[in-house]
Amino acid sequence: MNKNNGVENVKSPGEFTCRVSEQLSLAPDYYLLSLEAPELARAASPGEFAMLRCGEGYDNFLRRPMSIHQVDRSKGQVDILYQVRGKGTNWLSKRASGDLLPLLGPLGHGYTCSGPAGKGLLIGAGVGVAPLLFLASELAARQWKLVILMGARSKAGILRPDAYMEYGEVKTATEDGSVGMQGTILDLAANELENSTFDMIFSCGSLPVLRGVQELSRQKGIPAELSLDERMACGVGACVGCVCQGADGSYLKVCQDGPVFSAGEVILND
């Protein structure tokens, strides 16, 4: 089908019912969900997401947007790394191998991977590291040199550091100092940018972290891309429920114009 009726930049998501191949608890409230989703694995790019059904019947009526953590195209597998934040994600965390899960994807505008290879700084706060593994694998395959910063309150929140080490140098910060540098992800990022230079920053995390990254990007004159997290209804740009403020004051659709924006494109209000 893929009929865009003359409108450009329209994604071609599909609706799929995927089988859960495995679900692992990484730490309290953090889960790694593996799905048999060959079409999604094939079509997805780093920074894109899927809308997952997260309840029975009409419970948790809206689907949850989940960034794509990693794909294995040869196995047709898609991994989702997420944090339990409410009823929907709690329901999702109870899914087991063999369960079927409807999802819509891939969706959104992801990270820019197509430019010339360079040195990249990846900044992921908490579960914000989720889309950065797929990104790191894609950039590493394109000969980028990567430093990957992971931050959390404590060691338990540093998710799958070993997986990231395959693609670059991993540095961590925890607020309680239980692993890595004691401090916030922004402290760690400021240190790193003090000592080295980069061609590009890629980030995902909470609003305060993204605002900090935006500021660092401006100070250092290094372009940055930020992935925003927002409640959504349709996920495809139809309902205009998930907006953020654009630099020109107009509202941008997080699901369609984003979730990845360049740092200068958005104003990050509370």
Partner 1 sequence: MTDLTVHFAGITMKNPVMSASGTFGSGVEYASVFDVSRMGALVTKGLTKEPTAGNKPPRICETPAGLLNAVGLQNPGVEVFIRELLPGMLEFGVPVIANIAGRTKDDFVFMAERFSNTGVAGLELNISCPNVKTGGMALGTVPDVAAGVVKAVVQGTDLPVIVKLTPNVTDIRELAAAVADAGADALSLINTLVGMVIDVDERKPVLDNCVGGLSGPAIRPVGVRAVWEVSQAVDLPVIGMGGIANGTDALEYIMAGASAVAVGSAFFHDPLAAVKIIDQIDEYCTEQGVDKLQDLVGAAWKGNNGRR
Strand order, beta sheet including 266-267: 251-253, 243-246, 266-267
- C-alpha 231/C-alpha 65 separation (Å) is 8
Options 24, 100, 165, 240; binder of partner 1; rule CB under 8 A: 240
CB of 202 to partner 1, least distance (A): 24
Options 127, 232, 263, 266; binder of partner 1; rule CB under 8 A: 232
CB of 250 to partner 1, least distance (A): 6
Options 37, 40, 46, 63; binder of partner 1; rule CB under 8 A: 63
Nearer to partner 1 among residue 100 and residue 239 (C-beta) = 239
CB of 171 to partner 1, least distance (A): 33
Nearer to partner 1 among residue 103 and residue 200 (C-beta) = 103
Quick one: CA torsion of 116, 121, 125, 131, rounded to 10 degrees? 20
Total of chain residues touching partner 1, rule CB under 8 A: 40
Options 23, 45, 60, 203; binder of partner 1; rule CB under 8 A: 60
Q: What is the DSSP letter of 47?
A: T
- C-alpha 35/C-alpha 199 separation (Å) is 34
Binding site for partner 1 (CB under 8 A): 1-7, 10-15, 53, 58-63, 102, 104, 230-234, 236-244, 249-251, 256
